[in-house]
Structure 1
Amino acid sequence: MAQFKAAVVGLGQIGLTYDLDPKRERPSSHSVAYSLHPDIELVAAADVNREQGKVLHSLVPKARFYQSLPELLKNHTPDIISICTSPVHHLPAIQYILDNSTAKIIFCEKPLVHFLQEAVLLKKTFKDSACLLVPNLSRRWNNGMQQVKKEVASGKYGELQKIHVKYTRGIYNTGAHIFDLIHWWVGQIDQVQVIYRVDTSADADDDPSFTFTFRIGDKITGFAEAFNDKQYYMFEMDLYFSKGKISIRNSGDEVSYYCVGDHPLFSGFNSLNLERQEGKLLADANLANAISNLANVLAGIEQPRCTVDDSIYPLYVAQALLQSYNNNFSLERVE
């Protein structure tokens, strides 16, 4: 018998239906990730769309379906609850869970909330709460991304000098991952300046995409270029050091490490030479790792790999980008 009980609120893509995509590694949704963990039972899930109940039954037959969070909590006492609704509904769902359940962990999709002011309020709310709020900045649970952090910290490639980013789908959606990875690996972005706006599918969610420059301290410069995902999806990062480069491709599925060496064509010059390449990193399912971490948190043997502070920080960067765009592309500090 499973040691812990889980529930999911919101059965859209990340809540459930990503696991209908044959190209994705399983598990790719909260519902299936819980159902596959040996110490957790997915007892219930809720969504306003009744049709999602049929999909839930096809993927996790034993889980009960409800059309509202109140109905779910009247019938179950989960230890952990995932919130996978749209961001505008995160705060009321979190507050309802705190007031009407004994859940020990709320596992919430990014962005944590819709507005920065809500995040500050949430932080105060959880300060003395017995319930733990854990945001899902999913790449924090990926072993390949953790290896990048170790390599950056090792100093093997010298001083970090430049960061180049190519992305689609919004400063809140994909941006949350970009800003968190940079913060996690390197440090805080100090200032940003928008160059222009790019249309993407995230516009429908009021999530703009900007091409912009940024700085970290006095020595690290950055350039992020937005692409229209109606043409193709893009998530790439290049970290340029004084003695090498780290390249992240295919949404983090591939990482290549380069060292400085003799140029193969021109005498007297150096070149970036491929040292090693790591692939299929997303086969190490982020959500499976996240659920294992949270199960260990419930068991009292680990701390969560992602905190509320980690999730709030990208909102400050997004706010500065919006200010730059609205102020005629001004240079803005990230407060």
Structure 2
Amino acid sequence: MKKVRNAIVGLGRIGSTLEEDRLREKPCTHAGVIASNPSCLLVGGCDIDREKRHAFSKQWKCSALFSSTDEMLKRTRPDIFHIATPPETHLEMVEKALRWHVKVVICEKPLAHTRQHAYRIARIHASGRIKILANHERRYSEDYRRVKRITQDRRYGKLRTITGKLILEQQEPLASVLWNDGTHLIDAIHFLVSERDHAGDVFSNRVRTMAVHGNLSTGRKNCSFFSRTTDLKEDLSIGKKTCYIFGRAAKIPVAIEVGGGRDHFLFELDLGFSRGRVRIGNGLYEEYESAESPFYEHMRSLKLVEVLPEQPGMWPEGPTGYFTKMLEDALLCLKEKGRNPVSSSVHGYLAIASIDEAVRRFSVHSG
């Protein structure tokens, strides 16, 4: 059987080196997932940094290394092209893939560094000339897929609210936190509230920002959540404070806390159902169901539910499979002409559109 040809541009962390992290679920990089799939062949790697090319060659036994993306695409003719470069280069890389007749692209998040570039990438995908996956990995992760099934079959009743936390260790501007890691959080919300995995219904379900930090627009009046006045623009630019975003996704109220300057990393969602609760995030998964309260008479409380694997060896005993399933989706997109990716560049654009809207509201409220 002929193997599927894969090439990578960007041989840094997500392209290759994170595979050396002993604590991460494997595979966790583009090179790692290619090497783990018996249907795939790594035919080339490209980076402008000579040391990264050398390290990549040593780790993955790949001799076809390039400093020019065009040269790599010309000489290796990949079926799947992995883009793991900075977001400001993504549109250029997609256009190169299109010129060299690549069939499937896997593009790292965020999809682009501006909403306009992200829209152009999504338009290229929508044209049908090339299929572009956005690596919003939680769409492929078994724990998030379980929560989606819980939401759809109403195991704990109707979904009422979603709250999120995105906290970074480094002192980074909040706008940058939103743009780089917030895309994952927003896309996860889009995924959980949409009726289907694919992009057909997400335009109406994406997170719509209604307020930032202090004023929640109800359609009739503004309700103040904070009594003090804050320079919201300053919050976004210097990253010293926490900001809050309020909105709706598929009519579900959403509240997100974004912060920096901590000594720990937090990425989590808390879904409130009419008869239960689910908490999910990095290193976190909990389900609660409503039960007769052991603390109060004639009341109900939430009780932690034991989560068992559907089959032996599967999550939560085994891996979530997020990177493995992403590449499997790309392989199906290559094989099936009419297939749309589970995580497409359209989803990537919609996450950026929601974040861009939030950032613009900060600027308007603080101007």
* 1:189 has 2:223 as partner: no
- Greater relative contact order (CA < 8 Å, ≥ 6 in sequence): 2
Q: Residues 131 and 238 of structure 1: is their aligned pair in 2 closer, same or farther, counting only changes over 3 Å?
A: same
What does 1:320-331 correspond to in 2, within 5 Å? 320-328=357-365
User: What is the Cα deviation at residue 274 of structure 1?
Assistant: 1.0
Distance (Å, rounded) in 1 between the aligned partners of 2:13 and 2:91: 20
Match of 1:242 in 2: 274
Taking every aligned residue pair, what percent have the same amino acid on both sides? 24
Match of 1:73 in 2: 73
Match of 1:173 in 2: 180
Unmatched 5+ stretches in structure 1 = 331-335
SS in 1 for 2:272: strand
- Paired amino acid for 2:111: L
Distance (Å, rounded) in 2 between the aligned partners of 1:213 and 1:137: 21
User: What is the Cα deviation at residue 233 of structure 1?
Assistant: 0.8
* 1:265 has 2:301 as partner: no
Deviations 1:71-90 (A, max 9, x none): 21232110010001010010
Match of 1:152 in 2: 151
Asked if structure 2 preserves the Cα contact closer than 8 Å seen for 1:144 and 1:281, the reply is: no
Deviations 1:287-334 (A, max 9, x none): 11111221222222864211222111111111111112112359xxxx
SS in 2 for 1:328: helix
Match of 2:349 in 1: 312
User: What is the Cα deviation at residue 152 of structure 1?
Assistant: 0.5
SS in 2 for 1:277: coil
- Paired amino acid for 1:192: M
Unmatched 5+ stretches in structure 2 = 169-176, 194-204, 214-229, 309-314
Asked if structure 2 preserves the Cα contact closer than 8 Å seen for 1:294 and 1:304, the reply is: yes
SS in 2 for 1:271: strand
Q: Residues 229 and 28 of structure 1: is their aligned pair in 2 closer, same or farther, counting only changes over 3 Å?
A: farther
Distance (Å, rounded) in 1 between the aligned partners of 2:133 and 2:163: 29
Distance (Å, rounded) in 2 between the aligned partners of 1:226 and 1:198: 14
Distance (Å, rounded) in 1 between the aligned partners of 2:58 and 2:103: 28
Match of 1:300 in 2: 336
Deviations 1:93-130 (A, max 9, x none): 1112211x121101101111111112222233344343
Deviations 1:184-225 (A, max 9, x none): 21243233322277999x98xx99996223232696333212
* 1:35 has 2:29 as partner: no
User: What is the Cα deviation at residue 174 of structure 1?
Assistant: 1.9
* 1:216 has 2:248 as partner: yes
Q: Residues 88 and 57 of structure 1: is their aligned pair in 2 closer, same or farther, counting only changes over 3 Å?
A: same
Match of 1:231 in 2: 263
Q: Residues 112 and 218 of structure 1: is their aligned pair in 2 closer, same or farther, counting only changes over 3 Å?
A: closer
Q: Residues 213 and 322 of structure 1: is their aligned pair in 2 closer, same or farther, counting only changes over 3 Å?
A: closer
Distance (Å, rounded) in 2 between the aligned partners of 1:198 and 1:282: 44
> What is the alpha-carbon root mean square deviation over aligned residues?
2.8
Aligned residues: 324
Deviations 1:129-167 (A, max 9, x none): 432111111111112211110100112212222222111
SS in 1 for 2:122: helix
Asked if structure 2 preserves the Cα contact closer than 8 Å seen for 1:227 and 1:234, the reply is: no
Distance (Å, rounded) in 1 between the aligned partners of 2:44 and 2:20: 19
Match of 1:137 in 2: 136
Distance (Å, rounded) in 2 between the aligned partners of 1:89 and 1:58: 26
Distance (Å, rounded) in 1 between the aligned partners of 2:318 and 2:82: 21
